[in-house]
Amino acid sequence: MKKELSDFADLIRYYTLKELGNLGYGHYGGALSIVEVLAVLYGEVMKFDPKNPHSTDRDYFILSKGHAGPSYYATLALSGFFDKEELMTLNANGTNLPSHPDRNKVKGVDMTTGSLGQGVSVAMGVAYYLKSKNMQNKVYIVVGDGELNEGQCWEAFMFASHQKLNNVTVFVDDNKKQLDGYTKDICDMLDLEEKFKAFGFDTCKVNGNDVEQIKKALCEKQNSDKPVCIILDTIKGAKVDYIANMLDNHHVRLSDEGKKIMDETVKKLEQALMEKGLLND
């Protein structure tokens, strides 16, 4: 059942918090910053069939920043690839949902990711193949701003531009932080919008925690003759104040106090979703 994109985003956020809360630790910050782009892609834009995940006419999605797997899993479950109850097995012994996406375990995952930078290269290879066969499938990639420290990303971007891969859309989750601190302090990316334009991409920057801005950008770029880059100006831990206000929120292990705060956050979100009738299906 199709839902309003903002509601779909709230559902993704809710189940992301539920699975991480059940585990007690995980990559909260980076998972929460991409909730809205996942909602737009899986709620309205991408072509896919949860009953036939390997359909040859599907669009491809690669989460290059694989540590954001929890929100990706929540999206896949809500999209019908597997039961939502399975989300509570995140990173448990014998699970099909390891902390980083595994294409051999998780229905709907097109590439195993976790080693940063590699997802971008593989995505360009997929796009190149599809274009060479005159296939109409699209390829969507989410890459982290910290991940762009990896040189292989930029090699892949040069390849995409040279090959005129206009079937590719790159989303940069520009949440300003990475594992060891602020991205600008570790390896300053300078002006990402200008950088991608210089690499030959049709580029724009939007509020990445706003579904309508993301949707509008995709609509405006859908007929571009170049590879597309949409820079998502996001907040790490977006819309969950306890996480967003942490200085170090890449990987969080909840304290007893933190568990209480997060439990209350989840209860409030659950109540709001129930009032809208969104947890009854």
Quickly list DSSP for 215-265. Answer: HHHHHHHTT-SS-EEEEEE--TTTT-HHHHT-SS-SSEE--HHHHHHHHHH
Distance CA 277, CA 54 (A): 32
pLDDT value at position 1?
A: 36
pLDDT value at position 114?
A: 87
All structural domains of the chain with their residue ranges: 5-276
Q: Give 126's pLDDT tier (boundaries 50, 70, 90).
A: very high
Minimum mean pLDDT among 88-92, 178-182, 194-198: which range?
178-182
pLDDT value at position 115?
A: 87
CB burial string 69-91: b at 16+ within 10 A, e below? bbbbbbbbbbbbbbebebbebbb
Q: Is the pLDDT of residue 33 over 80?
A: yes
pLDDT value at position 92?
A: 92
| Average confidence score pLDDT of the chain | 95
The domain at 5-276 falls in which architecture?
Answer: 3-Layer(aba) Sandwich (3.40)
Distance CA 63, CA 176 (A): 18
Evaluate whether 239 touches 13 at the Cβ level (below 8 Å). Answer: yes
- Average pLDDT of the residues in 28-48: 97
Q: Is the pLDDT of residue 2 over 70?
A: no
Choose among 157, 199, 184, 180: nearest CA to 248.
180
pTM of structure = 0.96
Q: Extract the tokens encoding 41.
A: 């892609």
